[in-house]
Amino acid sequence: MSRLEIISPEGLRVDGRRPLELRRVNSRTAVLSQADGSAYIEQGNTKCLAAVYGPREPTKRAALLHDRALINVEYSVASFSSGERKQKLRRDRRLMEIASTIKRTFENVILTTTFPRSEIDIYLQVLQIDGGALHTAINAATLALVDAGIPMTDYVCACSAGYVNNQAILDLNYLEESAEIPTLTVALLPKSGKITMLGLESRLHLDKLEPVIQLASDGCKQLKENIDATIRESTKSLAKTILQ
Amino acid sequence: MISVSERDYITKGVDVSIRADGRSRLDFRELVLETGMITQASGSCRVTLDGGTDILVGVKVEVGSIEPEVEAEEADILEDMEQMDQDDGITMVKDKDRGRIICNVECSPSATRIFEPRDIEDMCNEYSQFMNRVLNGSHGGVDLKALCIIPGSTCWILNIDVLVLDYGGNLLDAIFMATRGALHNTRIPRATVEQSDGRVEFDIADEETEIIRGWEDVPLCVSLNKIGYRHIVDAAPLEELCSSARLTVAVNRRGNLCALQKGGHGGIEPSLLAEMVQTAKQIGQTLLKRQDAALREEEERIAAGKDPIGFGAASRH
Amino acid sequence: MDDSTPASVQNGMDVDTPPSVTSTPAVFSLDSETFKKIHPTEYHRRFLSQGVRPDGRTLSRFRKAKITVGAITTAHGSAMARLGETTVVCGIKAEITEPKTGAPRDGFIVPNFDLPPLCSPQFKPGPPSELSQSISEYINRVLESSKLLNLSDLCIEEGRAVWVLYADIVCLNYEGNAMDAAMLALVAALKHVRLPTATFYEADNAVRVKEQRTIPLKLSRTPISVTFGVFDGQFILADPDIEEEPHLSSQLTVIIEQNGGLCGMLKPGGSALGQETLTSCLEAARTRATHILGILEGALAER
Amino acid sequence: MADRKRVTGPEKSVVPLLEPGSLSAFTFDPEKRKDGRNIDRIRPVFMKTGVVRQANGSAYLEAGKLKVACGVYGPRQTARSKISSRGILNCDFKFSPFSGGRRRAYIKDSQEKEYSLVLRQALAPAVRLDLLPKSTVDVFVQVLESDGSAACLAAAITCAALALADAGIEMLDAVAACAVGYFDSTICLDPTDEEETYQSGSLVLSYMPSLNEVTHVIQSGEIGTTTTIKALELCVDACAQIQSVMQQTLAATIKEKINGA
Amino acid sequence: MTQRTRPDKRHSPNEMRPFYCSSALLSRADGSVRFKSGDSAVMCSVFGPMEVKLRDEKLDKAVVEVIFKTAAGMTTTKERMYERIIRQTLEASILSGLHPRTSIRVTLQVLTDDGGILSTALNAATLALVDAGIPLRSLAASVTCMIDDTGELLLDPTAIELERSASVHTFAFDNVSEGTLANMSTGLFTVDEYMRCYETCRLAAVSVQQLFRTSSEGKVRREYG
């Protein structure tokens, strides 16, 4: 796909969005019966399921930390999630890298010192990928953590942005990602505006970095509204069941 | 782990046909079935049982070599299929004019924290093997011959990936239900074979698609759990813990058994075994009817262009 | 049992107490089973100093060897070898493969020795132990360097198709001296191999074979492995068994053929041996090899 | 990927095709089985205990060409991480590389993994694991020659039960297992490899004859319920026969031990 | 016997390749040595006596672990066999009873292989143990020789020479009893040929022992001045 088609002369992207527009977000919490907290999120066609267990006794005693809770993140991708079927490897390095990125993102946000000698497990299952799997997974994890009642300093909201044709674009889909557009993923603490994670795996001119980060952060703030709404909704319905 | 009193409570309940969730011994739970929510897959289906079991099946079709494990260009050299087959007790692909089905059951970590990792591996392997055996046999339903593109070399391979998202008991029945649903939903691109100067070539038209022939004949599974001296269908997690033996029976539309497998750590008397087989067959027939009706509804929904409810089911409340 | 245990050994053993306790007046004695458990090395040392081994053999006595060929019909050649209670089965399967470009006429022979967890509690499931890997590798080297088989005999069509012989040696009952048993089973199985007539068809690039298996392999020689254990650096034990193995200070394996020619020597470390010992072991190995060859011939003639 | 822990041969090798016409014509005729058996007959079985001296219990079983060896180790201490109030029964099923038509790799394939599992499921109901807290019993089965995969699985179960008995592990009853093949409407006991290629389905039943309880059953193929039930009955009878051989073997072993002492 | 030049310009079939060693190369290891014999070179490091894994612990002596790595880094059955031979040879030399419940780890990394790698590795391991100050009963010096297709004995053959070998013999001798610690011979040979190789290698081992001596004397001088 040539770069010209990424944004049409009318200023529309391949999927009909405007450059600064997020994809449709659809999320809900408490989708799984066994987990302490769980969430499902769809950002466009990227779908992710998150489950949180804990705080609980660590499965591996050796990993136990005396002053805080241990965060354990597992990230897996369904074999039918993308165009090509991939045979799942037992220890896929790429998946492990993503898991450790997510782990480090949340370690600073979760009040881990509240639960010394315990473990919090975050399991992420990506069901379908259409670009932005990482930030979708982070958003799903935030929802599931809130659902599990794990104390956090703030939400973690993540979003991606890229730069093409002298224009920053928000929330890239698969076609855009694979067109070699520099893509930057940002995880933001919306209240303080602090960035907890920033990932860029291709070349981007330094001058353009600032506007792209700015755009991604704006996306995160929009997503925060969305996530917040979902949580308020589910809390309301939870409150209702308790009051009954 | 289950306490003695809990076990006693459930066992006594089963004895008088009253179960913890209000069902009687041979009642199946409410189930929600949806198809086609994974657009990247050739076919998909999700089945949720009332108590939590949540299965997502994605089917991906790909063009591959008829002979397993051997690369296409080497395939026709020096190979003896008969030799390969006699190792397997199951009647595998005997001839070179059939496609293949590869099943793989995987547990999403979210569903399985209650089991030991090794048990999960064993369980997934057992279920994968069971599915492979049932679906690749002559009795599996799917018309494997229709999956052949060029006899002797190329065929469609159906990769059936089962993802267990949540565990609420009775996984195997739900897996088969979802698999049958996903196969109903699967569309294969039409492949046209051309002969040009001695070489056989084929062309795949992505726009024109075909359904999987014979999906209706795919069997469903009914697992019966023996608790005390009685047996129940569609066990919940606690009931599975109380069960001394499990019998899984695969039944197809014609009322024939397609597979029989026992699990669990207890024994069953032969007379009870025969009775359980009969019960399972009847329940299987009812389930098949229920599913066919649900699949028809899904077909109508898709035809009407409505979005699947998906995990966004919260909006229903 | 061909060797009966001497009465003196069966009656158990009165044992002097360790030095620190001897000063006490009470006479302390242990029955032989307990003594064996507490001081296993000393237990063996006392036997050996009397010129007899715990199982009743003299130091230079080998265990009884037994060979059966052709028990496994699914293999192209098979043999079971027993040394005392050590039981090893070798099955050889022939398959077709493409030869290496450097040697278009040469087939392959792939020996592997497996010590499954079935045969002894000292082997765990999972990847093969260092012992079985070392034995596999050494057998492979001996096969290669002694040119036991002319690999070009395995050619079906030059540059296109050759036989590959998979020789899998499985130990069923491990009672010590795996190397000798493995070599014996392998050689017997190789002698028993019958390959079918194979023809290469250019048209479909395939090899077809007749159902009858008639062609034997031509072995240039019959190497026999003979292993000695060294105890305390002084006692040389022929054919050490499982009880003795852990207490040996060294082992020496001689691979020898009928005319006294050598195909290999292996002493994988351990205590130092003098030249005279080497010479006497070579001599003993030669006698043993002649004896084993007789048994092998007998077993093959029975078929 | 090549297995670096073993001597490796060429990357790929195949079993040759047979010359057309050289294969003696074989069609399955239930009235005329190649080995002269009736359809309701199992192959004559030979069993022996105490074949592996280092094992706590062991057995060897031969039926026709089928040869299976089994060693039982334990009860021995369970690894600390897996300790439980019930004993653990580990089963490990392995085909020897030369046991079948094609050479098998050493690393367990999915069929061997499945059979290992079936073995455990078939034996566990008989073994008094409640009497063995914090202990593990390991059962290792090695197939030397296979002739009919269903029959092979059944033989493995029987052989393992015999080895468990030889090891003195307390059991409710000796498990005997037996296989049948379905040939359309005909049910044929203990099918061989050659016969198996013509069958439309198979069933393996593990049964405790004295207790009259089925410990495991596995069936494949599309079979009507009545046929299945008929096959079950047939198997139950055959298992009783097999068990009597097991009992004779065990009795002989004990006699030998008493006489030897 | 014809006097002809060997491929690497040595004049006599009884001539060893020049060998030398440099020690204390690695800062983290307790002992390390690079041993070079012609174009075969092995780097050896020794750690220990150090903490041992509970599973491997021996109550009455130190556990010796040997890791043998080829230049390509792969561990096949060949390396496992070498590990076993080297380990059992070193076990006979090390006074392991002095350090019960510990482990001594010897890691051998082949840098270049031009024949006789097992000998090179054994010599490197012995020197590295000396460098690490592990108490030894004796020093194991190893030499390889071969008999070529014409029946001529060649000491310390190179990879090119090995291609026309009828048999190859590797010996390790200790300097106290002068007995054989390890031996691996393959190929076809007679008892006489074997004894000839034995004798030749035993004599050659003396020069290796000489190097051990110079090297340890150098170490003593360096450390105790």
For residue D77, the chain C residues in CB contact (below 8 A) are none
Reply yes or no on domain C65-220+294-302 having CATH 3.40.630.30. Answer: no
* Coil, helix or strand at residue D166: helix
So what's the pLDDT on residue D179?
95
Residue of D1, D3, D4 to mutate, interface with E, max E Cβ within 10 Å = D4
Q: How many CB pairs under 8 A join C and E?
A: 116
Query: How many domains is chain B partitioned into structurally?
Result: 1
Q: What are phi and psi of D256, to 5 degrees?
A: -60, -45
Over 90: is that where the pLDDT of C59 sits? yes
Distance CA A50, CA A40 (A): 6
For residue D224, the chain B residues in CB contact (below 8 A) are 255-257
So what's the pLDDT on residue B316?
31
Over 90: is that where the pLDDT of D150 sits? yes
| C124 and D92 Cβ atoms separated by less than 8 Å | no
So what's the pLDDT on residue B93?
35
The residue ranges of every structural domain in chain D are 45-260
* Coil, helix or strand at residue A200: strand
Residue of C76, C106, C118 to mutate, interface with D, max D Cβ within 10 Å = C118
So what's the pLDDT on residue A236?
92
Q: What are phi and psi of C268, to 5 degrees?
A: -80, 70
Whether residue B40 and residue A125 make contact (CB cut-off 8 A), yes or no, is no
Average pLDDT estimate for C143-152: 92
Over 80: is that where the pLDDT of D19 sits? no
Q: How many CB pairs under 8 A join D and E?
A: 10
Whether residue B89 and residue D153 make contact (CB cut-off 8 A), yes or no, is yes
Distance CA E93, CA E130 (A): 11
Name the residue with tokens 């088969």: B176
| β-pair partners for E42 | E35, E110
Kindly report the CATH number assigned to the domain that includes residue B34. 3.30.230.70
- Residue E222 C-alpha, separation from nearest chain C C-alpha, in angstroms: 32
Interface predicted TM-score (ipTM): 0.83
Distance CA C125, CA C128 (A): 8
| β-pair partners for D187 | D182
Write the DSSP symbol of residue A110. B
Residue in C closest to B79 by C-alpha: C206
Residue of D18, D107, D222, D235 to mutate, interface with B, max B Cβ within 10 Å = D222
Whether residue B89 and residue D229 make contact (CB cut-off 8 A), yes or no, is no
For residue D19, the chain B residues in CB contact (below 8 A) are none
Superfamily of chain region D45-260 = GHMP Kinase, N-terminal domain (3.30.230.70)
The neighbour count for residue D241, using CB atoms within 10 Å, is 15
Residue in D closest to B251 by C-alpha: D222
- Residue D209 C-alpha, separation from nearest chain B C-alpha, in angstroms: 10
Over 50: is that where the pLDDT of E31 sits? yes
Distance CA B143, CA A78 (A): 26
Q: Which of A33, D85, D116 is nearest to B114 (CA)?
A: A33
Distance CA D137, CA A115 (A): 39
Distance CA B68, CA B65 (A): 7
Whether residue B76 and residue C207 make contact (CB cut-off 8 A), yes or no, is no
* Coil, helix or strand at residue E196: helix
Residue in B closest to C209 by C-alpha: B78
C103 reaches D (C-beta below 8 A): no
Distance CA B112, CA B54 (A): 12
Whether residue D213 and residue B90 make contact (CB cut-off 8 A), yes or no, is no
Write the DSSP symbol of residue B315. G
Q: Which residues contact B181 (CB under 8 A, 6 or more apart)?
A: B33, B35, B45, B47, B57, B291, B294, B295, B298
Residue in E closest to C282 by C-alpha: E191
Q: Which element (helix H / strand E) includes A185?
A: strand A183-189
So what's the pLDDT on residue D261?
64
Over 90: is that where the pLDDT of A1 sits? no
C91 reaches D (C-beta below 8 A): yes
Q: Which residues contact A75 (CB under 8 A, 6 or more apart)?
A: A95, A96, A98, A99, A102, A124, A126, A137
For residue B278, the chain D residues in CB contact (below 8 A) are 225
Q: How many CB pairs under 8 A join B and C?
A: 12
D7 reaches E (C-beta below 8 A): yes
For residue D106, the chain E residues in CB contact (below 8 A) are none
Between these two residues, E75 and A189, which has the higher pLDDT value? A189
Tell me, yes or no, whether chains B and A touch by having 3 or more C-beta pairs under 8 A. Answer: yes
Whether residue A81 and residue B108 make contact (CB cut-off 8 A), yes or no, is no
Over 90: is that where the pLDDT of C194 sits? yes
Average pLDDT estimate for C118-146: 93
Residue of D3, D8, D103 to mutate, interface with C, max C Cβ within 10 Å = D103
Q: Using DSSP, how many helices (H) and how many strands (E) does chain D show?
A: 4, 10
Average pLDDT estimate for C115-129: 91
Residue in A closest to B165 by C-alpha: A32
Query: Would you say residue B85 lies in a domain?
Result: no
Handedness of CA C264, C269, C270, C271 (dihedral sign): positive
- Residue E63 C-alpha, separation from nearest chain D C-alpha, in angstroms: 23
The CA angle D255-D256-D260, to the nearest 5 degrees, is: 120
**Full-model pTM:** 0.86
Residue in D closest to E76 by C-alpha: D4
Whether residue C266 and residue E80 make contact (CB cut-off 8 A), yes or no, is no
Whether residue A127 and residue B111 make contact (CB cut-off 8 A), yes or no, is no
Query: Would you say residue B88 lies in a domain?
Result: no
So what's the pLDDT on residue A79?
85
Fold of A3-243: Ribosomal Protein S5; domain 2 (3.30.230)
Distance CA A240, CA B2 (A): 32
Among B residues 23-52, those touching chain A with beta carbons less than 8 Å apart: 38-41, 44, 51-52
The residue ranges of every structural domain in chain A are 3-243
Distance CA C181, CA C67 (A): 10
- Residue D93 C-alpha, separation from nearest chain E C-alpha, in angstroms: 25
Confidence band for B247, pLDDT divided at 50, 70 and 90 = very high
Among B residues 110-129, those touching chain D with beta carbons less than 8 Å apart: 122, 125-126, 128-129
| C93 and D103 Cβ atoms separated by less than 8 Å | yes
Average pLDDT estimate for A47-66: 87
- Residue D258 C-alpha, separation from nearest chain B C-alpha, in angstroms: 34
Between these two residues, A149 and D19, which has the higher pLDDT value? A149
Domains of chain E with CATH codes:
19-224 (3.30.230.70)
So what's the pLDDT on residue E4?
65
Over 70: is that where the pLDDT of B221 sits? yes
Whether residue B76 and residue C204 make contact (CB cut-off 8 A), yes or no, is yes
Whether residue C204 and residue B78 make contact (CB cut-off 8 A), yes or no, is no
**Residue D66: both structure tokens together:** 């089928």
So what's the pLDDT on residue B315?
33
Worst-scoring range by mean pLDDT, B195-199, C54-58, C281-285? B195-199
So what's the pLDDT on residue B310?
59
For B248-292, the pLDDT digits (tens) are: 999 999 888 999 999 888 889 999 999 999 999 999 999 999 999
E85 reaches C (C-beta below 8 A): yes
Query: Would you say residue B79 lies in a domain?
Result: no
Mean residue pLDDT across chain A: 89
Over 70: is that where the pLDDT of B73 sits? no
Average pLDDT estimate for D173-196: 91
- Residue B272 C-alpha, separation from nearest chain D C-alpha, in angstroms: 10
Nearest CB neighbour to D16, from listed C72, C96, C108: C96
Percentage above 90 pLDDT, chain B: 35
Query: Would you say residue B314 lies in a domain?
Result: no
For residue B81, the chain C residues in CB contact (below 8 A) are none
Average pLDDT estimate for B123-142: 84
3-class SS shares of chain A: helix, strand, coil, % to 5: 35, 30, 35
Distance CA B70, CA B100 (A): 14
Among E residues 113-172, those touching chain C with beta carbons less than 8 Å apart: 138, 167-169, 172
Confidence band for C297, pLDDT divided at 50, 70 and 90 = very high
For A18-34, the pLDDT digits (tens) are: 989 999 999 989 888 88
* Coil, helix or strand at residue E70: coil
Worst-scoring range by mean pLDDT, C205-209, D93-97, D177-181, E195-199? C205-209
Indicate the pairing of strand C206-216 with strand C161-173.
unpaired
| B12 and B19 Cβ atoms separated by less than 8 Å | no
| β-pair partners for B2 | none
C246 reaches E (C-beta below 8 A): no
For residue B79, the chain C residues in CB contact (below 8 A) are 206
| E174 and E154 Cβ atoms separated by less than 8 Å | no
Residue in E closest to C257 by C-alpha: E188
Write the DSSP symbol of residue A175. H
Whether residue E80 and residue C274 make contact (CB cut-off 8 A), yes or no, is no
**Residue D232: both structure tokens together:** 């079950």
DSSP code string of D8-20: ---S--BPPEEPT
Average pLDDT estimate for A111-121: 93
For residue C204, the chain B residues in CB contact (below 8 A) are 76-77
So what's the pLDDT on residue C9?
41
Indicate the pairing of strand E103-112 with strand E63-69.
parallel
Over 60: is that where the pLDDT of C10 sits? no
Over 70: is that where the pLDDT of A224 sits? yes
Q: What are phi and psi of E154, to 5 degrees?
A: -120, 125
Between these two residues, A84 and E94, which has the higher pLDDT value? E94
A129 reaches B (C-beta below 8 A): yes
Mean residue pLDDT across chain C: 88
